Amino acid sequence: MDDRIGNALADGMSWTSRQLRAAPRRIFGRWAQRLPMDFRILYKQFLLRILDMEALSVEADMVEYLAQFAGILIFISGIQSLGVLFVVLLHSGPFTPAELYTMGWTAEHGIVEKMLLAAGLVVVFLWDAPFPDRRDVMVLGPLPVRPGTILAAKVASSAAVLGLAVLCLNWSTNFVWPGVLGGLHSPRLCLACWLAVTLAAAFLFSTLLAVEGLGALLLPRQVFLRLSALGQLAAFALFPIGYFLLGQIDSPTAMMAAENRWTVACWPGYWFLALLKQVAGELPPEMSWLARLAWGALALSIISAAAALIASYHRTLRRIAEQPDLEPSRSGRTWQFPLGSRLETVLVYFSLRTLGRSRQHRIALAFSWALVLGLVLGMARSWMEERGPRPVDESFLIYTVLMMALAVGGMRGVFALPIAHKANWMLRVTQLRPTEHYLAATRRVLLLFAVFPVWLVAMLFSLGYRPWLAVTGHLLLLAIFGLLAIEVSLIGFTKIPFTCSFLPGKTNMQYVFWGYVLGATMIVVFVTSCEQPALISITRFVVMAALAIAATIALRLWNRERERKAELYFEEKPEPPLITLGLIVNPRARI
């Protein structure tokens, strides 16, 4: 029975994946055939290079990987729509106009803000993708391809990824919400929702192109690359900050209040909400300036993007060929403060340098750290609202434990992405110590770069909570939880961070995502039902701490025993010396 359900699920997912692959060809096939061949080839290449293919195993399937991300957004949209339907069905009697008015603002604001957050993160992920890199210049430079074609293919491939995110995140909500609660205005409201989310995403993408294009045009290439990397990190922080700190004013009255005027004027979420309301014909006259701001900002960003991109592109290609990406430095120091044994120290620094210098790794890590930052900002917000010390509450406990889980899980996840995995021969020929020593170094990386920073932040926030005994108890449990999270994340892990080839599809992103959701739910249940009562009773606390320590030690011993017998591995799927053409797609078809 279980097998049948499993097979049905697998078949269903495989069918969805096939449909997702075939859909663009079905919809745009005839139209696409009219585009120039060189554009089509480059577009496909650039689309599949959103992730660096050199980091992947030979059998990596990028389409499958992107489809998994799309699947997560589709699911989120579906769940939100179900939520709206439940609210409507469970509500006793019809909604009053006042209720509908308030719900409308909240829901539409939510649609715009979520789109802004998701599109913002996608835009930051795409950061350098619309611009040629050295590899593009070296490969395409000698070929008879016009810079304009490269420009068009680059921009189109990035826009396609963003377009897919817009479509997947809104496919259900933007139909269900206007359909259920819009009444006679449903079609117009639906159009307004789609227009607002599309234009919000277009605004962010154009702003990125304008900023990057102007930067490439005005700055020396090395300076541009350095500033661009910093800008990417800053942008990653900006969207969670905006979402959690600025984008939380829901009611129209609060939006129009004088004390919130600057917040509303600064954050694009409100501009595009006003634009949505304007197109839907529901915008209060007091807010028409916000809609004008949205249209103005959009026009400005599109015009600047087009001008900056076209002007810089012709220069950029030549500059990339003429100027090195990195200027040889004439001074510096190879500093290495001891952070454990010599092996641990060298591998900790290797990890630190990889995270600090590799764009791909920073971005992968930033996805989980953006959530951590969001939680920190949420705590900071409630901290600022309170005057003086406050009692240890549920939200403080839940936020800090979630931060710890996200930090350790995110760091462990990014370990799987290699940096120059063909260079790992060096680690293999110099493996002079037992495997467990290498894994001790991995443990040290997690402790220093995930557990310790989160614990430190929690400790700083805890200064505003009372009683001290409960605060100290929570910090102690948090530290034990951090160590336990490290041991859990290292179950079955026998790699050196950043050295093993990556096989997207081996780990299904959807399972990971929903695993995280389940984990977060369990943490909430654990904190409210176990930790909170334990912090007010010494006996319960001692029992709980003893159990947590025992679990950590048991798992540590079990991991150590496994590590003693394990061998380090560097390939998720070894590259076969004989490569088959794979012409038979379905072996069953032969029978």
Partner 1 sequence: MLELRHVSKHYSGIPAVDDVSFAALAGEVTGYLGPNGSGKSTTMKMITGLLEPTFGEIFFDGIPILADLIAFKRRMGYVPEEPYLYHHLSEAEYLTMVSELRDLPRNQGQERIEGLLHLFSLHGDRHASIQGYSKGMRQKILLIAALLHNPDLLLLDEPFSGLDVASALVLRELIQELAARGKVVLFSSHELDTVERISARVVIVHKGRLVANDEIARLRGLMELPTLEEIFSELAVEQDSRSVALQMMGLIDG
Short-list 481, 549, 493, CA closest to 519:
481
Structural contact between residues 451 and 397, judged by C-beta atoms closer than 8 angstroms: no
Interface residues toward partner 1, by CB under 8 A: 324-334, 336, 342-343, 345-346, 349-350, 353-354, 357-358, 419-420, 422-423, 425-433, 576-578
Least Cβ distance, residue 67 to partner 1 (angstroms):
30
Least Cβ distance, residue 341 to partner 1 (angstroms):
10
Q: Which is nearer to partner 1, 450 or 496 (CB)?
A: 496
Structural contact between residues 295 and 200, judged by C-beta atoms closer than 8 angstroms: no
Least Cβ distance, residue 327 to partner 1 (angstroms):
8
Q: Which is nearer to partner 1, 113 or 344 (CB)?
A: 344
Q: Which is nearer to partner 1, 118 or 441 (CB)?
A: 441
CB count, 10 Å around CB of 544? 19
Structural contact between residues 55 and 150, judged by C-beta atoms closer than 8 angstroms: no
Q: Which is nearer to partner 1, 195 or 346 (CB)?
A: 346
337 burial via Cβ count (<10 Å: 0-12, 13-18, 19+): exposed
Q: Which is nearer to partner 1, 251 or 336 (CB)?
A: 336
CA dihedral sign, ordered 202, 207, 208, 209: positive
Structural contact between residues 271 and 296, judged by C-beta atoms closer than 8 angstroms: no
Least Cβ distance, residue 441 to partner 1 (angstroms):
11
Q: Which is nearer to partner 1, 336 or 529 (CB)?
A: 336
Least Cβ distance, residue 333 to partner 1 (angstroms):
8
Q: How far is CA 436 from the centre of its chain?
A: 32
Beta bridge partners of 507: 504
Q: Which is nearer to partner 1, 89 or 578 (CB)?
A: 578
113 burial via Cβ count (<10 Å: 0-12, 13-18, 19+): buried
Q: Which is nearer to partner 1, 24 or 324 (CB)?
A: 324
The tokens for 51 are: 């992730």
The tokens for 306 are: 């087009």
Least Cβ distance, residue 329 to partner 1 (angstroms):
5
CB count, 10 Å around CB of 530? 15
CA dihedral sign, ordered 61, 417, 222, 206: positive
Least Cβ distance, residue 419 to partner 1 (angstroms):
6
Q: Which amino acid is at 226?
A: R
Q: Residue 185 is inside which H or E element, if any? A: none
Structural contact between residues 193 and 170, judged by C-beta atoms closer than 8 angstroms: yes
Least Cβ distance, residue 569 to partner 1 (angstroms):
13
Short-list 350, 386, 372, CA closest to 236:
372
Least Cβ distance, residue 192 to partner 1 (angstroms):
47
Q: How far is CA 18 from the centre of its chain?
A: 25
Q: Which is nearer to partner 1, 142 or 328 (CB)?
A: 328
Q: Which is nearer to partner 1, 44 or 422 (CB)?
A: 422
Q: Residue 257 is inside which H or E element, if any? A: none
Q: Which is nearer to partner 1, 38 or 436 (CB)?
A: 436
Least Cβ distance, residue 314 to partner 1 (angstroms):
24
Least Cβ distance, residue 219 to partner 1 (angstroms):
18
Exposure string (b/e) for 25-61, b if CB count within 10 Å is 16 or more? eeeeeeeeeeeeebbeebbeebbebbbeeebbbeebb
Q: How far are the Cα atoms of 18, 239, 370 from residue 242, in angstroms, in the given order?
A: 37, 5, 12
Structural contact between residues 502 and 511, judged by C-beta atoms closer than 8 angstroms: no
Output DSSP code: residue 391. Answer: E
